[in-house]
């Protein structure tokens, strides 16, 4: 693992010598020092049995999308992506962060949603635009690092930090430190603001959005912020660990994508999740680690996930040019 990390750093340092566009033009996956160096470290060699390779490595080393009609296949946390579209790394009102991860891919619907949220960030929040974190890999699927979900091109992480007024270099996008919206698991930081709440409400009201994950104090702030008769959109805003500097937007399965499986619809008793559900997240319960029983037999680790454990259509996604 250590050598992977140092290769990553070496690659990032080399990128720093070029302007953004030339750095990206230098992305030759055959070079150890390319920004995609880590993809080389785990690269599949011809003749390897693809059913014996871990799914994380198989999908985590894909550099190009599968030349197939666009389709989200499987579930958010177990699936893959055909015919992905790439969100351009620099738009009128967005910039993609952490380019070395090559995770700015999604269904055409997700790319359009991000473009829309970027416009809303300008109009509603008064920002220059959005900073976009992880979407999906070029062929979706499990990743070598990070998320369990984001596998089918319908999830995206959007930073709470407004886009700066200049086009950032690849190096800056790699190292930029985001603003933290929370001090701890119950308290907001001084960076939280009403224009962020307005933006989040608009995103939650979009009928194509299924869920939005935020850190618990942000959900609490939204419950206070919401006015008006219809507060049902609040049910989509779900408290969850680890969402301190970005929100995670998840789309419903687009119409016609029959291999895509929707998750259950959040229907909190109170219609908003501002009562019992939020109280649970403000209690110790979700944050407590169960004490392991020293006398319990060691659980046998599950065999690693391979292509065989993913929906059958994912084989065509790997085989496609």
Binding of Zn ion at residue 101 (CB under 5 A)?
A: no
Which single residue is written with the structure tokens 């029959």? 258
Q: What is d(CA 244, CA 258) in angstroms, rounded to the nearest whole number?
A: 34
Q: Which is nearer to Zn ion, 157 or 174 (CB)?
A: 157
Which single residue is written with the structure tokens 């700015």? 104
Q: How many residues interact with Zn ion (rule CB under 5 A)?
A: 2
Q: Nearest distance from residue 152's CB to Zn ion, in Å?
A: 13
Q: Which is nearer to Zn ion, 171 or 250 (CB)?
A: 250
Stretch 136-165: interaction string toward Zn ion, x if CB under 5 A = ---------------------x--------
176-204 as b/e: b if 16+ CB within 10 A:
eeeebbbeebeebeeebeeebbebbbbbb
DSSP string, 65-122: --SS--EEEEETTEEEEESPEEPPSB-SSEEE--GGG---EE-HHHHHHHHHHHHHHH
SS3 content of the chain, % helix, strand, coil (to 5): 30, 15, 55
Q: Nearest distance from residue 297's CB to Zn ion, in Å?
A: 35
Q: Which is nearer to Zn ion, 121 or 136 (CB)?
A: 136
Q: Nearest distance from residue 87's CB to Zn ion, in Å?
A: 15
Q: Nearest distance from residue 148's CB to Zn ion, in Å?
A: 9
Q: Nearest distance from residue 248's CB to Zn ion, in Å?
A: 4
User: Are the C-beta atoms of 135 and 141 separated by less than 8 Å?
Assistant: no
Binding of Zn ion at residue 238 (CB under 5 A)?
A: no
Q: Nearest distance from residue 314's CB to Zn ion, in Å?
A: 21
- CA neighbor of 319 nearest in space, from 62, 45, 43: 62
Q: Which is nearer to Zn ion, 263 or 306 (CB)?
A: 263
Interface pick for Zn ion out of 171, 236, 238, 248 (rule CB under 5 A): 248
Residues contacting 277, CB < 8 A, separation 6+: 239, 268
Binding of Zn ion at residue 250 (CB under 5 A)?
A: no
Binding of Zn ion at residue 98 (CB under 5 A)?
A: no
Which single residue is written with the structure tokens 């998750």? 263
Site for Zn ion in 185-224 (CB under 5 A): none
* Residue of closest CB approach to Zn ion: 248
- Residues within the interface to Zn ion (CB under 5 A): 157, 248
């Amino acid at each position: 693992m250590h050598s992977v990390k140092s290769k990553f750093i070496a690659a990032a340092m080399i990128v720093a010598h070029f302007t953004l566009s030339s750095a990206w033009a230098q992305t030759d996956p055959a070079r150890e020092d390319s920004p995609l160096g880590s993809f080389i470290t785990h690269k599949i060699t011809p003749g390897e049995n693809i059913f014996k390779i871990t799914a994380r490595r198989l999908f985590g080393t894909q550099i190009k999308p599968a030349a197939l009609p666009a389709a989200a296949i499987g579930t958010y946390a177990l699936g893959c992506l055909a015919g992905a579209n790439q969100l351009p790394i620099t738009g009128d009102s967005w910039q993609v962060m952490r380019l070395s991860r090559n995770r700015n891919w999604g269904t055409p619907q997700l790319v359009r949603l991000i473009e829309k949220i970027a416009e809303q960030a300008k109009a509603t929040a008064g920002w220059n635009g959005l900073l976009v974190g992880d979407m999906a890999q070029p062929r979706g699927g499990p990743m070598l690092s990070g998320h369990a979900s984001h596998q089918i091109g319908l999830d995206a992480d959007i930073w709470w930090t407004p886009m700066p007024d200049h086009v950032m270099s690849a190096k800056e996008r790699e190292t930029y430190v985001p603003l933290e919206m929370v001090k701890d698991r119950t308290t907001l930081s001084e960076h939280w603001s009403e224009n962020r709440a307005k933006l989040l409400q608009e995103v939650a009201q979009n009928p194509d959005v299924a869920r939005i994950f935020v850190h618990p104090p942000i959900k609490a702030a939204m419950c206070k912020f919401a006015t008006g008769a219809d507060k049902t959109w609040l049910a989509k805003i779900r408290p969850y660990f680890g969402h301190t500097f970005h929100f995670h937007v998840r789309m419903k399965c687009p119409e016609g994508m029959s291999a895509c499986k929707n998750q259950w619809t959040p229907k909190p008793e109170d219609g908003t999740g501002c009562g019992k559900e939020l109280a649970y997240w403000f209690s110790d319960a979700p944050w407590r680690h169960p004490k392991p029983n020293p006398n319990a037999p060691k659980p046998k680790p599950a065999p690693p996930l391979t292509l065989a454990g993913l929906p059958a259509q994912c084989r065509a996604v790997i085989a496609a040019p």
